[in-house]
A and B are shown apart, each in its own frame.
Chain A
């Protein structure tokens, strides 16, 4: 309701009033992910140097140049470090540009952050929502204009998402930034966003668009060649929407999906495509690599190393895209190749070769070193004869002579690699031990960092301690396991966690190795063949032009659904058995399951009966008769529960069919089908009418289907005679 009122009052204000509101921005200085671990255990992501400048400076510099007047920096993980950094920087003393920090210690997601900001009540107009790891040089004028005009016409247009053309690789299905391919559907006329699918499920060969979409729009365009820039122009309603829907955590996965799919109150999201300007977000190590190169190659102008903006020192551009600070000590025989940045105070030894790399400040690089495509941060020591390819070495790392870093290695702060040691590719090394709790659940990624926060406070402690120790004591006294990083090495090699090696190459700084590439090609081909042979061209779809393939998928899905449903029912029931929950409560729980899975009473009856039989089977027994006895006991005990769902004959028949199914699949039950059927009848779970109707239904079935009918023939015979007798009696 609050939203409505607010929207209405805003609408009543005249546009001039709106225009006078200073442009605000919310900068999330926490990505709420763990992709940059282990580095982010010690330093927040927004302060990691990108071409020797902390990332947040790129974002702030862009916001300032784009005319934003007030920025709220939301800090969560390592908030102290972020605030300290900003305080020591010049950002707090800019004219016409105020930076305010908002600190939180218990936010676990962007959703929490926005809810907190809503409570603070600081946003009073349209605002730019951005995370602190975004590099852009786009102008906001046009997109703001568009957003405002749309708002005037339709107050439900709450958000404008900036997108950019970028075709993902057809082989790896990921963009050059290492993010998953994105499928979006956009109305070509209004630019309204109609469908959004990142985190694509690769197993699914096709996407489904609601047919109602086309009812409203005569044409929609479906894109696979767009990239989300994660720059959003939002109306204040967005914040209240997050508050209203307290379960929204992720901006895209929950908020966007929620608005698009659930169609909450008709809110609409629009897109704005940028063509010539740059916008990208550092999501993982691969995008770190890609964006660094883009900066060096000046796509992000004016945010390039040789143009003075906040936080970078003077650096000169030389030929071939080589940037060198003025005071570096470079040996004459050292070769510094193209697209390389060397920070001030760095010394480079004889015959060392560096290409496509970024070297920070105050590094000392020995002789005969070869560095290719790597990111060396500040005060790193690389001794003679080392080889680094596509690696990241954080501040204070020491690579001892002759060591080799293979592609994809990440060395966190102050790690020491021993002499002649080869760090295998994709290793992540840190002085801190890998947190044991690894929440691999994708859904809970945001929750993961909640563990991270608790960790962090303790970790920062240890970091400080470690710093002290390392500087004060000689390394030899430290008892690092020598096996991990060679003699004199310091640090833990993190074991590759969930996803394993397979996924590591996707997000690493290293280029995709050829073998993975060819693997992916084969996978793509297989994929294609699979969709061709399999689901998308079912032969029966050809037989009956009226029935098309998606029907088959529907079947598949509903089958999956029933399996899940049955499992849930079984789990509920087992819990009831073990925890002595009363029948009424079980009924309540099963009913809620039934509603959420959109099932009918017969499904519940089937599911419960299945669970009952399973329970009976689990009780130890030696002979068939004991099994029957056990079954009878279980049935007698839970009769009330089962009966609840057997209001109609159809549901009773469902139970018989289920029994048949169970007997078919479990050999223990197969011989006693008729006996259990009799017990069911005897316990008045099912009536004779149901049995007789089941028998009738089976009359025309195949012989193979009639195994159990035959088995129960005598019983049925008896039933029929009995009922005839009854009738006769009635007649008399």
Chain B
């Protein structure tokens, strides 16, 4: 495979404070007790895409992510970790590592996707159409978190939860319109020229851009070079390529050139056929080709490029970890509805309790729960729909419901934790009651406190 994969692992996203910290960059946040980036890496491995560049914002974070990956995937994947400055945007990140990109096509994946969509299929769709860009779309969640913000440290937290508005051609293979971000607030504006070329366009608001793209490298380089103001792949590069697909300004040089010549020959052979198809008002060849042929059906007069889509099936799971809400949802899904993603085998009680974990008497761990290695629980505890990490020490009479407890957490007797996220090394003293809270790493919650809907964290020094 001459696909090169770029995993944009982000840095310490502001959306996820207090879950992330200098010690735990976004990529290493635990989902079902393993870093979120491992889900992408394993998905790539499944599709036999083993040549990866993981881009991390910030030198420190890069070192941490790199050391984790080299430990976990030492023999399995060929991973290069590159650090880029913070706040350069997704396009900026790619620009920074451009010299590493050599393959004909580049697959850009956000490091926070938890999905079971076969990435090989995306790559294949890209190849089949000889597209300049192929974007993966998945059905937008019916309710729940916003997908706003790109993976690499852009602050979009203020934006309300909106998805994309996407225009597809009738075959649902090509992307002819996309609106993201602020454009969603306005009326939908569609170029007539492209509508004329396509004839019929389906506009959908129930799909979202999963931030997984296959690019033709030469084009990506060119766009990044020429448009040095582009910051985000999702909001700048993709809409730009979509908008100008019928009058491409992107020069296809190098290897693609020969291919284009090949196309030219083929198309001149097919001229008669195409002409008749034009006359019959049919658009069996892609509308790009027809449009490029011009009115005479002779040699191509217009330069076009194709923007394709791969639409993931409704049954596929595809969520991005880009908000605190998403973090809890994904953790719940991974041990619940989408348990096949977790990679663990569930017990008869439909939960996972590590053999080394110790449970006190009358302690119950319900279905859709996970208890990590070496964790201890006292007597009369109850755990429901929650993930508890490694080496936690939990006292007696503790209730954990719908929550995520990371590693090395100490929980005193009589605590009650609901809908909360407890980061590593937190200490909850006795009788703490937390509801809808996030507790940052290393924080100590004093005995008897009751919190509701708060984010507790140590002050950053």
Contacts and interface: CB of A to CB of B under 8 A. Distances in A.
- Please say whether chains A and B are actual partners in one complex: yes
A537 B165 contact: no
Given A222-B201, A224-B199, A204 B192 contact: yes
B191 A225 contact: no
Contact of A547 (B182, B198, B227, B246): B182
B200 A225 contact: yes
A297 to B, nearest CB: 14
A223 B203 contact: no
Contacts of A185: 203
Contacts of A217: 205
A230 interface: no
Given A173-B196, A222-B200, A528-B247, A545 B232 contact: yes
B196 A181 contact: yes
Given A537-B243, A542-B230, A207 B195 contact: yes
A284 to B, nearest CB: 21
B406 to A, nearest CB: 34
A219 B203 contact: yes
A545 B199 contact: no
A312 interface: no
Contacts of A225: 199-200, 281
Interface in A535-562: 536-537, 539, 542-543, 545-551, 553
B229 A221 contact: no
Given A547-B182, A550-B186, A170 B197 contact: yes
Contacts of A209: 187-190, 203
Residue among B195, B202, B203, B227 having the largest count of chain A Cβ atoms under 10 Å: B203
Contacts of B202: 188, 219-222
B294 interface: yes
A224 B188 contact: no
Contacts of B183: 548, 550
A499 interface: no
Contact of A529 (B167, B198, B247): B247
B204 A167 contact: no
A223 B192 contact: no
Interface string B227-238: 101111001100
A181 B192 CA distance: 11
A18 interface: no
A448 B291 CA distance: 40
B244 A539 contact: no
Contacts of B302: 525
Given A165-B281, A545-B181, A545-B232, A211 B187 contact: yes
A546 B187 contact: no
A527 interface: yes
A211 to B, nearest CB: 5
Interface string A170-209: 1101000000010101001000000000001000111111
Contacts of A222: 167, 190, 195, 200-203
Give the contact-size bracket for chain A: 35 or more
Contact of A183 (B192, B198, B231): B192
A210 interface: yes
Contact of A214 (B185, B188, B291): B188
A170 B196 contact: yes
A96 interface: no
B347 interface: no
A543 B236 CA distance: 9
Contacts of B192: 183, 200, 204-207, 224
Contact of B244 (A210, A537, A549): A537
Interface residues of B, number: 45
A293 to B, nearest CB: 14
Given A170-B295, A218-B204, A545-B231, A211 B196 contact: no
A183 to B, nearest CB: 7
A517 interface: yes
Contacts of A188: 202
A200 B206 CA distance: 29
Residue among A205, A220, A224, A543 having the largest count of chain B Cβ atoms under 10 Å: A224
B229 A543 contact: yes
B185 A211 contact: yes
B240 interface: yes
B188 A221 contact: no
A504 B174 CA distance: 38
Nearest to B296: A521
B199 A220 contact: no
A460 interface: no
Contacts of A548: 181-183, 186
Interface in A115-171: 165-168, 170-171
Contact of A528 (B193, B236, B240): B193
A314 interface: no
Interface string A331-361: 0000000000000000000000000000000
A542 B246 contact: no
A204 B295 CA distance: 22
B124 interface: no
Nearest to B187: A208
Contacts of A532: 244, 247, 249
Residue among A525, A527, A546, A548 having the largest count of chain B Cβ atoms under 10 Å: A548
A531 interface: yes
Interface in B282-328: 291, 294-295, 302
Contacts of A173: 196
A530 to B, nearest CB: 10
Contact of A546 (B181, B193, B195, B198): B181
Given A222-B167, A521-B295, A531-B193, A214 B203 contact: yes
B184 interface: yes
Nearest to A172: B295
Contact of A224 (B167, B187, B200, B231): B200
Contacts of A543: 229
23 contacts: A167-B281, A170-B291, A173-B196, A185-B203, A204-B192, A205-B191, A209-B189, A211-B186, A211-B187, A213-B188, A214-B188, A219-B202, A219-B204, A221-B202, A224-B195, A224-B199, A524-B193, A532-B247, A542-B229, A546-B182, A547-B182, A548-B183, A549-B189
Given A542-B227, A545-B232, A548-B183, 6 more contacts: A185-B203, A221-B201, A524-B193, A525-B302, A537-B243, A550-B183
